[in-house]
């Protein structure tokens, strides 16, 4: 989530009420949660009526990380 639409350097992670980060397995789930939490910003972005202030970061994993030793 971008803190200030005039300063693209200031972003923060979106956290749950318990303080932990929101983490999802599927990008679609993450985008749906952002829309639930920030409906106006996401709506403005969808219609190009405002600057991009939300983003989903995908973390690539190595297939070998899932293999047992």
Write down the domain spans for the chain: 2-61
Q: What 8-state DSSP symbol labels residue 7?
A: E
Residue 56 has what pLDDT?
A: 84
State how far Cα 48 lies from the chain centre. 18
**Residue 56 CB neighbour total at 10 angstroms:** 14
User: What is the rounded CA–CA span in Å between residue 32 and residue 3?
Assistant: 20
Residue 67 has what pLDDT?
A: 55
Higher local confidence (pLDDT), 69 or 39: 39
Predicted TM-score (pTM) of this structure = 0.68
Residue 8 has what pLDDT?
A: 78
Contact 55, 32 (CB under 8 A): no
1-41 per-position pLDDT tens digit: 887 778 878 888 889 999 998 999 898 999 899 899 988 88
User: What is the rounded CA–CA span in Å between residue 13 and residue 54?
Assistant: 10
């Amino acid at each position: 989530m971008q803190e200030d639409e005039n300063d693209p350097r200031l972003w923060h992670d979106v956290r749950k009420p318990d303080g932990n980060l929101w983490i999802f397995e599927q990008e679609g789930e993450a985008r749906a949660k952002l829309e639930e939490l920030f409906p106006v910003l996401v709506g403005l972005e969808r219609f190009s009526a405002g600057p991009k202030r939300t983003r989903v970061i995908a973390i690539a994993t190595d297939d070998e990380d899932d293999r047992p030793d």
